[in-house]
Amino acid sequence: MPEVFNWQLGRKMDYPYAERHPRSQFAFVFNINRCIACQTCTMACKSTWTFSKGQEYMWWNNVETKPYGGYPQSWDVRLLGMLDETHRKTGRNAQWETGQRGAADRPYGVYEGMTIFEAARNSERRDQVAIGYEPTEQEWRSPNFYEDTATGSENVPEKLSMKPASLPAHATWFFYLQRLCNHCTYPACLSACPRGAIYKRPEDGIVLIDQSRCRGYRKCVGQCPYKKPMFRATTRVSEKCIACYPRIEGKDPLTEGEPMETRCMAACVGKIRLQGLVQIGEDGKWKEDRYNPLYYLIKVEKVALPLYPQFGTEPNGYYIPPRWVPRQYLHQMFGPGVDEAIEKYTYPSRELMAVLALFRASQKIVFRYEIIEGPKIFERTVNGKPWSIYNDTVVGYSKNGKEITRISVEEPKYVRPDKHYNSI
């Protein structure tokens, strides 16, 4: 089996196809700390792409409550269990070697365990390119199962704490996890398809299923670790998130020819989502693009982390982890970069404060930002160190270099005139 380099794991790994990379890659950052689980994103996607017969259960975008929720039910617990089982049987360890982390090609260290592709070679199911399973109909039945259901830190119901919560980790907790296809660098869905019906677009890395080639074997459903391809019984083929590609191509009538964010991103009420395109070199490395907001958040500030990097698909969705959740849980979900990411988010740098203001500031994709410095508006001491907020202004530019947004750290206040008092 060919070897490919996975920078999220800091090493080469087995993958059924040799490396070939797009010129740019669709990617996104979600700030979990801000999500209010309003499901506006979910409905924006559903009402655009999956409102027809046979698509009733298809939620290409979903927001689930962790730790108990999941769509399909227990998708991650089941796969983590299968990965664990393979490690146990082979006597291997799924640890991260974090001693030399920080370099561009191993920012989180080196993952020493097996990915889903490597585990498949060590499992009894030799017919699979990646370990996985096809969910039952029961498991697809409730997209928001266990909504808002909390757990105690030791998973014992009587230990749920009613005491006031305090950071760093709450004794009783839950959080919302926003999910869609990660348009992975090494997609398991693509490698599993016996028809060659799944492809990754060279211009933007979006992963699509060719509906005319698909014969509904559902190998992609079984082997995508994130369970994002879904089978449509009325047409007998599989479907998945298409990253709203007409918008990315600048073909939406509202877009004036500029690339636009997807429907789920643009609709986000909590302003937790920022989506864009990052530039990829022929060697698969992200080209240095210091003032692309995604490059800054993921590669420079390292405040946003991939979801379950140990699966090995190099997902292109990144998350700012929730501050109040026990670290052990977060380490399993986002890898060893969690502590640094939370530290950076808790006491944000001047630049990070400004870039966070770009989330949902424009429907057009921000390709570059610049910061105009403003006055200091707040200061305090945190952990014995001085920390300040500045009212800087961040300006976002489109692909063609046009200014598309300008927003300051301190949001302007609007006072409603007296005549509207109690008018509704």
Binding site for ligand SF4 (CB under 6 A): 35-41, 63, 178, 181-184, 187-189, 207, 224, 226, 228-229, 240, 267-270, 272-273, 313
Nearest alpha-carbon partner for 270 in 360, 341, 182, 135: 360
- Helices 327-334 and 338-346 pack at an angle, to 10 degrees, of 110
Residue 308 or 329 having the CB closest to ligand SF4: 308
Q: Which residue has the tokens 């489109």?
A: 398
Q: What is the DSSP string of 309-371?
A: GGGSS--SEEEE--TTS-HHHHHHHH-TTHHHHHHHHHS--HHHHHHHTTTTS-SBPP-EEEE
Residue 101 or 313 having the CB closest to ligand SF4: 313
Q: Minimum Å distance from CB 219 to ligand SF4?
A: 11
Residue 83 or 268 having the CB closest to ligand SF4: 268
Q: Minimum Å distance from CB 365 to ligand SF4?
A: 17
Residue 80 or 267 having the CB closest to ligand SF4: 267
Contact 295, 316 (CB under 8 A): no
Residue 178's DSSP bridge partners are: 63
For 188-208, what is the HEC assignment?
Answer: HHHHHCCCCCEEECCCCCCEE
Q: Minimum Å distance from CB 29 to ligand SF4?
A: 12
| Three-state DSSP class for residue 162 | coil
Nearest alpha-carbon partner for 248 in 26, 21, 401: 26
- 277 CB-contact burial (10 Å; exposed 0-12 / middle 13-18 / buried 19+): buried
Residue 171 or 198 having the CB closest to ligand SF4: 198
Q: Minimum Å distance from CB 90 to ligand SF4?
A: 23
Q: How many residues does the chain have?
A: 424
Q: Minimum Å distance from CB 97 to ligand SF4?
A: 25
Q: What is the DSSP letter of 325?
A: S
Q: Minimum Å distance from CB 131 to ligand SF4?
A: 13
Residue 44 or 341 having the CB closest to ligand SF4: 44
Residue 154, both tokens: 């030791």
Residue 264 or 395 having the CB closest to ligand SF4: 264
Q: Minimum Å distance from CB 155 to ligand SF4?
A: 25
Q: Minimum Å distance from CB 159 to ligand SF4?
A: 28
Residue nearest to ligand SF4 (CB): 270
Please state the φ and ψ torsions of residue 45, each to the nearest 5 degrees: -70, -50
Angle 138-139-143 (CA atoms, 0-180°, nearest 5)?
110
- 260 CB-contact burial (10 Å; exposed 0-12 / middle 13-18 / buried 19+): buried
Residue 31 or 405 having the CB closest to ligand SF4: 31
Rounded CA separation 293/356 (Å): 9
